[in-house]
Chains A and B, each alone.
Chain A
Amino acid sequence: MELIKVIQGIISILVILVLAPMFAGLINKLKAIFTGRIGAPVLQPYYDLKRLYKKETINAKSSSFISVISPAINLVSVVIAAAMLPIGFARPIISFEGDIILFAYVLGLARFFQILAAMDIGSSFEGMGAAREATFAVFAEPIFFFTIGSIAFISGLTSIYDIYHSIRLDNVSYLVFIIVCSISVFFLAITECSRMPVDDPNTHLELTMIHEVMILDNSGIDLFLYQYSSYIKLFIYSILETSFFYPFGVRSYSVGVIIFVVVIATLSIALAISETITSRFKMKNIPQYLLFATAIGILNLLIYTFTK
């Protein structure tokens, strides 16, 4: 019995590692369809990664060892974070009391090294991107802690797996609480993964960029690692979102997997629609957008605690 659980955990992480680029490709394809184009094939991110893998890596002369280790650290931290997320009802490989904090800070470590590497190269353009990333990270972090943290606070559990298993829809106000939390996490996913209203993932050479600016000088295997970890990051936040919807199903692994697939598909459509109909915000409006998501989380927590 234990063996099956371990195997399920391993399958979860493998699924994340293998399917992450396809999810990004799927969103791009849907976006193309919504805007009336044919678009790149769904498997395009894999081709891109393969191409990058073959290319030579060149580092700037002014860069130090930080630029060399940063891409690898980035990918490793993101994979560790991915190993903490449940797919279906399987227990993830890494799961212990308090892993919610580790999850947040492992992703924080990835971001920290990416910012360091961007400043390490010595280009002012990338320094600007790093500054922006750091600024917006300050506003994005509270969203996570106010949504996932408030569910943890209410259930009294501190492991992501246990927290999601504690979600039960027995009364209406808890249902609304969960729905509003999932909206908050959607905002968070958009911000962390540099999607449309905050950052434009398609443009590489505009001054308004955040994430793409920081990896502008990387090439070859370094860029491969950065791109791959950003695909995994997008998938991680999507899984975080799907986990809210498990209570609607019967509590078995197979049903969990089906719900996972359905929710991921719905989410990709939702992301594609939101990216099609919105335009990117002005830089000065982004903090207030993020604070809005935090405000939803705070309000949610207030209302739920005071109804009891």
Chain B
Amino acid sequence: MQNVLSILFCLSLFYLAVTSRVKAYVTVLRFQGILLTVLLVFPFIHHFSIFALILPATLFIVKVMVIPRYINKIILDLDIKRMIEPTIQQFTFLLLVIFSMVIIFVASNILSKSTNIETIPFASGFSAIVVGIFVIIFRKKLIVHVTGFLVLENGIFLFGTAVASELPMMIELGTLLDIFVVVFLMGIAINKISSTLSGFDVTALGRLKD
């Protein structure tokens, strides 16, 4: 089951690499949030407890409902155009993603022989981290950078489930709170930037002087 969810997760990463709309990025974030929730709920089917459901429920609320809605609200409020404005061609970007994913999968397969990790979720999480970084590097819009950061976070989460079978719940909840706060801070920052500068490009920010 974990493998199936990981396949879907990687497919969402590929979709992220080919799509050129900001709205699609938000949808992917939502989809990944649902996947992670299912991934967390799944082990508790056999030994059910209310306490164990706190983390998945919080995850669902934060990653599927609050953050995507907030990003959508920012897009609507600031009237951000729907194209993502990549700095390199989508085709090249997809090639990059494929190559890095192949390397990551082979590397984690080699790693899994010496250490006790599960290859597929580990590799998928790692790929999500790399794709998140790529999104931040190769896109111009600030709001897309925020989504790239969130994809990276999702990757770290998946990574964590692969490395440790039992998650320390308080730490995970703390991370979720962090992400939540960071996204709000980014939202406020983007709002402020938009009131000073007309564009939302990082190219405009590169020309800033004091």
Contacts and interface: CB of A to CB of B under 8 A. Distances in A.
The number of chain A residues touching the other chain, given as a range, is 20 to 34
Contact of B7 (A180, A285, A294): A180
Interface stretch (A9-17, A25-33, A105-113, A296-304): A296-304
A306 interface: yes
Contacts of B6: 303
A289 B18 contact: yes
Nearest to A176: B4
A303 B9 CA distance: 12
A124 interface: no
Contacts of A255: none
B31 interface: no
A176 B14 contact: no
Interface in A269-308: 285, 287-289, 291-292, 294-296, 298-300, 302-303, 306-307
Contacts of A299: 7, 10-11, 14, 101
Given A288-B18, A292-B14, A303-B120, A298 B98 contact: yes
B95 interface: yes
Interface in B81-120: 90-91, 94-95, 97-98, 101-102, 105, 108-109, 119-120
B170 interface: no
A143 to B, nearest CB: 13
The number of chain B residues touching the other chain, given as a range, is 20 to 34
A306 B94 contact: no
Task: Choose among A289, A292, A294 the residue with the greatest number of B CB atoms under 10 Å from its CB.
Answer: A292
Contacts of A298: 98, 101-102
Contacts of A155: none
A73 B107 CA distance: 47
A285 B19 CA distance: 10
B123 interface: yes
Contact of A295 (B94, B108, B119): B94
Contacts of A180: 7, 11
A68 B167 CA distance: 70
Task: Choose among A176, A285, A294, A299 the residue with the greatest number of B CB atoms under 10 Å from its CB.
Answer: A299
Nearest to B101: A299
Contacts of B45: none
A291 B94 contact: yes
A306 B101 CA distance: 13
Nearest to B90: A288
Contacts of A250: none
Contact of A307 (B17, B91, B98, B120): B120
Contacts of B119: 306-307
B82 to A, nearest CB: 16
B14 to A, nearest CB: 5
Interface in A148-183: 172-173, 176, 180
B11 to A, nearest CB: 7
30 contacts: A172-B3, A173-B3, A176-B4, A287-B91, A288-B94, A289-B18, A291-B91, A291-B94, A292-B15, A292-B18, A292-B94, A295-B94, A295-B97, A295-B98, A296-B14, A298-B98, A298-B101, A299-B11, A299-B14, A300-B7, A302-B105, A303-B3, A303-B6, A303-B120, A306-B108, A306-B120, A306-B123, A307-B3, A307-B119, A307-B120
Interface of A: 172-173, 176, 180, 285, 287-289, 291-292, 294-296, 298-300, 302-303, 306-307
| Nearest 10 pairs of A and B residues by beta carbon | A302-B105, A288-B91, A306-B119, A306-B109, A176-B4, A288-B90, A295-B98, A295-B14, A173-B3, A292-B18
Given A288-B94, A292-B94, 13 more contacts: A285-B90, A288-B18, A289-B18, A291-B91, A296-B11, A298-B101, A298-B102, A299-B7, A299-B10, A299-B11, A299-B101, A302-B102, A306-B108
